[in-house]
Every structure is written in C-alpha cells, then in structure tokens.
A and B are shown apart, each in its own frame.
Chain A
C-alpha cells in the first residue's frame, strides 16, 4: 500500500510538470487556434536563462525566474510576429509546419549558445521534503511548489479570460476572428498578448521542470512538450482545468504503468489510454464538443 502511494505521488509529481506545460499549450490553442509545437523549446530557453542568471550573474532564484519570464515573453512575441503572423490567413497545416520549424530553430540556437554538454540545474527550490510512514513516503518541495503553481495559474487564467476586458477580447477572437475585428478588437495585438502570456508560463514551467528533473540540455523541452501536448488533448484542448487534470492523469498513468506493468511499456500505455479516451470522448475529458453548423 505504501509503495502504491509512493508511485502515486511520483506520478502526481511528474504529472504536475506536464500539467504546467499543458496550460501553456491549451492557452495558445484555445485563443489562437494553433498548435504551438515550439512551446516545449521556449520552456528549454526559459530554463537556460534562469540557469545562467543564477550561475553566472549570481542572481537570487526568484529574480532569475523573473528574468526568464521577461526573456521568454519577448521571445514568444517575436516568434509570433515573425513566424506566425504572416501566416494568419494561410492553411493551418502551414502554421503547424512553421511551428515545427521554429522548434528546431530554437533547439539549434541553444546548441550554438549553450553547447550540447548537459548542465545540472541547481536545486534552489528544494527546501526539504515531507516524510510520512517513517520516511517511506516522500513528497518533495518541488512537487508541492509545482502543484501550488498549477492551481494559482489555473485560477488566474480562468479569472483573466472570464472577467477582464482583454480576456473577453481573447475569447471573442477565439470564437470568430472576423467578427471580433468588426467589433473593434485588435486581433493581432490580442494574439500577441496570448503568446506573451503563454511564453511567460513556459518560463515558469521550464524552471519547475528543471527543478524536479535537473538535467538541462537543448532537447530538454521536447519530450515533456510532446507529453504535455498529449495531456492537453487528453483533458480537452482549449480547456484550462482540462489541461491540469489531463497532465496529472498522464503522469500518474505513466508511473503506475511503469511500476506495475513494465518499464518498457510505460509510454505505450500512456498513449493507449489516450486513444481509448479519444475514441469515447473525441474532444477530450473536459473539452467542449464541437457541433458543425451547416
């Protein structure tokens, strides 16, 4: 029983990292209706920036997170402006391929700047751990921090898109760009803002990812990025609480699958569950079903 609980908590800890990345995916998809496959790599950039701020500039951890958020926000807006905005009217496939291109571009830039030698992210947020059952059960401070950050971000995003004027504009753009423009909403600026918020979230996700799993190299963001994308689809892409639930479930299924079935089949199980869920609920757990109007 204790060992089940231990695996469950490890799953939650991995899942909370997926969830925080998935929030960024779902946010951008929900508003701009595009899959930003470069999201995972913005995370990697965020992690590197905070690493450099702490290691080379000796900044305190909180300030380094802020640094990473600023750099990633600027990066996100630049990527959107240079790569995605010219394709606003193009087919969604063109945008998707561009996003994959941006992803490779960021990875190779990181390779040039920081080289492929892996760096070890300092455990700055490690302030000890909670031990239960005579130390058999261990909840690290990184896990608690990540879950806490998840909840805060989820509530803040829900309030922001639901209650504020800019949030309303975002929802309007998401429903119908043309109509929103006619109502006097600046579509380009709204989408830029979405990317800015998504990228700032990516910076936070990068710091939390590397605090929990401290190896940092140019490909660090890509696999967690894909898993988080899966989590977002699992929970219903575009739904903010869905991303969080999807992320947590994915992490728990992955760890329990590895622990009780086989370490070789862990990832296969995750995707098998995804396929089954999508067979019965094509729009994901909390996704809104789309009715095609004719």
Chain B
C-alpha cells in the first residue's frame, strides 16, 4: 500500500509538472491587444479590424512556431473609453497593440502608449496627428495627405479624366487635407481642374456644386469626402442626367451599406482603396473565405484587410527581432521600432515599407463599384 501511495504522489507530481510546463508553453504566445469600436456608430470598422486580425492570427497559429494570442477590447469610438481599453489589455499582458481603429481615440491612446513605451500599429487611423511626434506609433493605411497625392497620380496614370471637378467639405480637416494635396499633385502633373466647390456639414442642397461641375464640362468629379454627403451628390447628379466618373477616397467606403441606398446610383464610382475583396489572387480568396467563415458570410472591407496586415507585420517584425511571449512590452517596443526601419511586408494591401515618422509606403490601387459590389479596376 505504501508503495502505491508513493506511486500516486509521483504520478501527481508528474501531472503537476506537465501542467506547469504546458502553462509555460501558452505563456510564450505573443500577446497583441486589438482595440476598436465593436459597438456603436463606428462598429462596422472596429469589427472588421477584429475579425481581420483573427483570420491572420489563426493562419499564423496553424503554421506552428511563434503563437499569437489576441486580446480584443471595445472602445466605442470614444477616446476615454479607448484609453481604458488600452489599460485593460496591458493588464492582461498585451505586448503590442493592433489599433486603435479610429482616429480620435488613436490620438489619445497613442499619447499614452508613447509615454508607456508600447508599440502601436494602427490599421486605419489615417490622420497625420496619429503618428506625428510619436516614434512608436505606425500606420498600415495611407495618411490623409497621401490619399490626395495618390488619387491625383492614379487618375493621371490611368487617364480617367481630363477635366476635373472637386467637391469637398471645407469645414472638415480630413476633406480639406486630401483636397490640398490633390490640387498640389494635380498642378505638378499638369492636370486641368475646371471647378472647385465646397460644402459644410450643414449643407442639405448640393445642386449648385453639381451644376458647377456639369457646366464646366468636368468628366471626372473628385470627392475627398465621407459617404453620407457623397450619396446626396450622386443622387443630385443623377437627377440632372450628369454622369461623369466619380472618384472617392477611403471615406467613400461604407456607401453601399447605407440602409435604403439605391446601389445603382453608385454604379461606376471609383474609390482609392488598397483592397478589393473580389481580387482573384489566392491570398485574397483565402482571406475572404476565412473571414466569411468567421462572420456568417460577411465580405471583408479594406479595414479588415489592413488589420490582417497589421498582425502579419507585427508577427514578422517580432520573429526577426527575436521577441517572444516573455519579452516585456517596453523592450519589445524598442526592438520593433528598430525592426520597422528595414521591415518589408508583403500583405493583402500591397508591399509595405515604413518611414521613421510612422507612415507607410505602398502602391495604391483602386476599385470600381459594379452591381453593388467593389470590383478591382482593370484598364
């Protein structure tokens, strides 16, 4: 009997040892905080980022090697709640952040993370204020000014229009920022801008702006604005039988999800975006399938793809820098900053490199809306 007891205790000890070591194994997973609005008005963006990140993490974990654990926290697109969410994921052991999704919270969290020395890579907060003055905050999306330059270059390269009209919101920093760089680049490239009109958040009637573009014989109207006013402009133009090419930027993303929106109004609308869900390369197809399986068949938008790339960029940089699940966040931060100087990631949204101010360099592509869906533009 005594022998049996000894055997049992030995067995128990063995079991304990194994449990401990399996805990230790789980600890080695790289812990990445994912912060964004999962509820509220901007939930469409936050959820896209969360599920996009999940698809990437699942793929990486299936490969074996360094594992990834995501710690997702809702910020409701509110700067204060976002800082709380950030503190909460740090408490849970996050070593770096995928986020935050939206700009205003990202500026607040970025300031805190800069003090704490936590590395942040945002999929979608596009303002320059997100990265300005912070050596530890990086972007996967284009900055607002870069969108204007890229749009002008794209329109010029593909010869989409010769006479260009611009309608922008002069009460909005996002819109005027893109407008300014667009005009500068257009001047450099010698493009002809025939009409520039403005509106504000309070504007209900867009007939003057659209008429001005029509009377100037513009064959392309550039809309560096959000989708709500854009939907009104499209309707006004249709009422006037005016059918130029409309060219939007990332603020246009979402126009097809407006409740009650007549998708035929948006037929042929161009949009500068790094991702088209119907692209026929294998990686995009796999991503769309995995994302659909995770979300009841939803089609991922560019935010999901950007967040997917965030996880891959963080993973590849961590592997290269030798960061493991045990590296403290401040140490990981300095290592990642060093890595991002030379890092090259080939992601869903293109081949990316980063400059030291935190902005990304990648080649913009564009989609065109056809039958209520985004289609890659082939000229």
Contact = CB atoms under 8 A, between A and B. Distances in A.
Nearest to B202: A223
A79 interface: no
A138 B239 contact: yes
Given A140-B239, A264-B170, A119 B208 contact: no
Contacts of A255: 205, 207-208
Contact of A213 (B232, B258, B262): B232
A122 B262 CA distance: 9
Interface in B92-107: none
Given A215-B231, A263-B199, A117 B258 contact: yes
Contact of A122 (B204, B211, B260): B260
Contact of A10 (B40, B197, B208, B241): B208
A10 B207 CA distance: 7
Residue of B205, B211, B228, B231 with most partner-chain A CB within 10 A: B205
A41 B124 CA distance: 34
A258 interface: yes
A264 B262 contact: no
A97 B106 CA distance: 36
A7 B215 CA distance: 12
A123 to B, nearest CB: 8
A116 B40 CA distance: 8
Interface string A224-267: 10000000000000000000000000000011001100011011
B208 A120 contact: no
Nearest to A6: B211
A120 B197 contact: no
B359 interface: no
Nearest to A121: B260
Given A135-B241, A213-B232, A120 B262 contact: yes
Contacts of A129: 239
Contact of B235 (A17, A138, A214, A266): A214
Contact of B215 (A3, A115, A215, A263): A3
A13 B205 CA distance: 10
B62 interface: no
Interface in B20-43: 40-41
A3 B204 CA distance: 20
Residue of A14, A115, A117, A264 with most partner-chain B CB within 10 A: A117
B377 interface: no
A186 interface: no
A29 interface: no
Interface in B243-296: 258-262
Contacts of B199: 263
Interface in A1-54: 3, 6-7, 10, 13-14, 17, 51
Contacts of A223: 202, 204
A222 to B, nearest CB: 8
B327 to A, nearest CB: 40
B284 to A, nearest CB: 27
B187 interface: no
B204 A213 contact: yes
A121 B262 CA distance: 10
B198 interface: yes
B204 A224 contact: yes
Contacts of A266: 208
Contacts of B228: 118, 215, 217
Given A14-B204, A267-B202, A3 B211 contact: yes
B175 to A, nearest CB: 13
B7 interface: no
Given A215-B228, A223-B202, A258 B208 contact: yes
B208 A115 contact: no
A123 B235 CA distance: 10
A120 B202 CA distance: 17
B259 A7 contact: no
B240 interface: yes
A263 B211 contact: no
Nearest to A214: B235
B197 A7 contact: no
B224 to A, nearest CB: 15
B301 interface: no
Contacts of A209: 204
B204 to A, nearest CB: 5
Contacts of A158: none
B181 interface: no
A277 to B, nearest CB: 22
A119 B259 contact: yes
A58 interface: no
B67 interface: no
A121 B261 CA distance: 8
Contacts of B215: 3
A266 B235 CA distance: 21
B144 to A, nearest CB: 21
A263 B232 contact: no
B344 to A, nearest CB: 38
Nearest to A114: B259
Contacts of B229: 215
Name the 5 nearest CB pairs between A and B, nearest first: A120-B260, A116-B41, A10-B207, A223-B202, A258-B208
14 contacts: A3-B211, A6-B211, A10-B207, A55-B260, A119-B260, A123-B262, A129-B239, A135-B241, A209-B204, A214-B260, A217-B228, A223-B204, A259-B212, A264-B198
Interface of A: 3, 6-7, 10, 13-14, 17, 51, 55, 115-123, 129, 135, 138, 140, 209, 213-215, 217, 223-224, 254-255, 258-259, 263-264, 266-267
Given A116-B41, A123-B262, A135-B241, 5 more contacts: A14-B204, A51-B260, A55-B259, A120-B262, A215-B231
